[in-house]
Structure 1
Amino acid sequence: MFPKLLLFAPLASLVLASPALTDLETRASIDTSSHCGQWDTVTASQYELFLNLWGKANATSGSQCSSLVSLSGSTISWKTTWTWTGGAGIKSYSNIQLNKGINTQLSAISSIPTVWQWSQSSSSSIVADVAYDLFTSKTAGGKNTNEIMIWLANFNAGPLSYTYGSNGKPTPVASNLSLAGHTWSLYHGNNGANEVWSFLPSSGTITSFSGDLNTFLNYLTQHEGISTSQYLVTAQAGTEPTSGSATLTTSAYSLAIN
């Protein structure tokens, strides 16, 4: 019997070690190099890092580079560093895009659970936001009809609005909305291509968010006339910088459509 013990002991060790090996393989299977191209994309499981430097031509000077850091299960981490000078308007929206479960009709979505933990460092005053960006369409994969933004931070920026106060600031169409564990003001405007609905925190910055984004969609379908027959065609999370220099670091992010 002694020879059998020698044969089976190493096999048992391999079986016990297999979950750890699987986890290491998952963590090592993504591209963590820095990407700086205007339309660069990097796929990581159900997610995609999208540089999206769509407004860079409006800057006098500047650049932005982004990279994935790690992926463990459905949780991804990433960072983006940017510096933009001159020119009017937003220069980019570098983001993490979800590619699983989109093109689903709003009436068929039961929940959109998400976690986003992030921090940002900057060397001077900046103009930017940190926000989720969702788009809906009349058809699956169709032209955008509505843009729904959930801002977690507003750094000297501001949402689009049809109306502005005497102080020149946008005025909300609804205030003191209790959604996903926080209080929000809702703004409504148009970007020249589609309607834009922006939820902004009533006060402060939310650097650790955990909630169901479907509660925001439900509010719009129940109170603002967006049809539940619309399809969710895009779901992203990132930052929109206009000017200054900063590094946004996401330590943990996850999003799913159920």
Structure 2
Amino acid sequence: MLSKSALFLLPLFLSSSLASPTPLDIEARASVDTSSHCGQWDTVTAGPYTLFLDLWGESGASSGSQCSNVVSLSGSTIAWKTTWTWTGGSGVKSFSNIQLNNGINKQLSAISSIPTTWKWSQTSSGTIVADVAYDLFTSNSAGGSNVNEIMIWLANYNAGPISSTYNSAGQPVPAASGISLAGHTWNLYSGSNGANNVFSFLPTSGTITSFSGDLKPFFDYLVQHEGVSSSQYLVTAQAGTEPTSGSATLTTSSYSLAIN
């Protein structure tokens, strides 16, 4: 049987042994800014990533805003959220995104894999025009100007990819169809945004809210079939949403990306 003094001290011992965070836990929590940011070019660094507000097209809207925040960071897995509402104009208003800062500026031929996971959900009000996508850029040199933009869309909400060919109804025509990569089937669209080539992989049907796979085969496909050189450097690797109009909240519960 425990003495009265031992009984008195037991709750204190259990509380301190079960609840006390380590110095590393305290440092990790304190180092992540989870506050909401709404400025046009606001950024938040969190471990190997940077959250970019990137409201690059907001001047094309008659009204609207977009705010984003990091929710949590655990190792190389990040959670984040962005809420937007845009009215007016026909162009993309923003690309709030998570950018990977580690492992970039490698030649495609030197990359063995680009493993990633992305679990997300979205709530919206009324009709929206937007996409949810990975956005990656290659260049002729490390840190050089963009030559190719590679987009991997997980969702298409009444938007459309850049294409060099459109049908009589004004719809983009894929350059290739029925491509099996990373456990899904895609249509590839290609065109130019006026500054660089754009290659967009879109799911042949539906929306992918839980994606897990390797992005390297997408680059391998472009090297083999679309004339992209394996000597190109991967200079930017981002993932986020491009809204044009409407109101929605995108919540990413789990996201990770690495370049090996």
TM norm. shorter chain > 0.5 = yes
d(CA) in 1 for partners of 2:19, 2:130: 46
Displacement of 1:27 in angstroms is 4.0
TM-aligned CA distance change 1:43 to 1:169, over 3 Å: same
2:94 counterpart (92, 95, 104): 92
Aligned equivalent of 1:6: none
Matching residue's letter, 1:217? F
d(CA) in 1 for partners of 2:21, 2:110: 35
Matching residue's letter, 1:63? S
3-state SS, counterpart of residue 126 of structure 1: strand
Which aligned pairs between 1:118-137 and structure 2 lie closer than 5 A? 118-137=120-139
Matching residue's letter, 1:133? D
2:184 counterpart (172, 182, 185): 182
Displacement of 1:16 in angstroms is 11
Matching residue's letter, 1:140? A
Q: Tell me whether 1:67 sits opposite 2:69 in the alignment.
A: yes
Matching residue's letter, 1:123? S
Provide Cα deviations, 1:3-25, integer angstroms capped at 9, x if missing partner.
Answer: xxxxxxxxxxx999999663454
Provide Cα deviations, 1:28-68, integer angstroms capped at 9, x if missing partner.
Answer: 42000000000000001110000000000000000000000
d(CA) in 2 for partners of 1:89, 1:16: 53
Aligned equivalent of 1:207: 209
d(CA) in 1 for partners of 2:125, 2:144: 41
Provide Cα deviations, 1:174-205, integer angstroms capped at 9, x if missing partner.
Answer: 01000000000000010010000000000000
Matching residue's letter, 2:158? N
Structure 2: runs of 5+ lacking an equivalent: 1-15
d(CA) in 1 for partners of 2:219, 2:235: 13
Kindly report the root-mean-square deviation, in angstroms, between the aligned alpha carbons of the 2 structures: 1.7
Aligned equivalent of 1:3: none
Displacement of 1:148 in angstroms is 0.1
Contact in 2 for aligned 1:98/1:235 (Cα 8 Å): yes
d(CA) in 2 for partners of 1:210, 1:100: 19
3-state SS, counterpart of residue 124 of structure 1: strand
3-state SS, counterpart of residue 126 of structure 2: coil
Aligned equivalent of 1:231: 233
Displacement of 1:165 in angstroms is 1.1
Aligned equivalent of 2:13: none
d(CA) in 1 for partners of 2:113, 2:201: 18
Displacement of 1:88 in angstroms is 1.8
Contact in 2 for aligned 1:112/1:213 (Cα 8 Å): yes
Displacement of 1:101 in angstroms is 0.5
1:110 counterpart (98, 104, 112): 112
d(CA) in 1 for partners of 2:156, 2:49: 25
Aligned equivalent of 2:51: 49
Matching residue's letter, 2:238? Q
Aligned equivalent of 2:198: 196
d(CA) in 2 for partners of 1:151, 1:44: 24
2:142 counterpart (140, 143, 151): 140
Matching residue's letter, 2:31? S
Matching residue's letter, 1:74? S
Aligned equivalent of 2:10: none
3-state SS, counterpart of residue 221 of structure 1: helix
d(CA) in 1 for partners of 2:165, 2:27: 52
Q: Equivalent pairs: percent with the same residue?
A: 77
TM-aligned CA distance change 1:38 to 1:223, over 3 Å: same
Q: Tell me whether 1:246 sits opposite 2:259 in the alignment.
A: no
TM-aligned CA distance change 1:248 to 1:15, over 3 Å: same
d(CA) in 1 for partners of 2:19, 2:62: 54
Q: Which runs of 4+ in 1 moved over 3 A?
A: 14-25
Contact in 2 for aligned 1:189/1:197 (Cα 8 Å): yes
Aligned equivalent of 1:150: 152
Q: Tell me which moved more, 178-187 or 22-31.
A: 22-31
Q: TM-score, with normalisation over the residues of structure 1?
A: 0.92
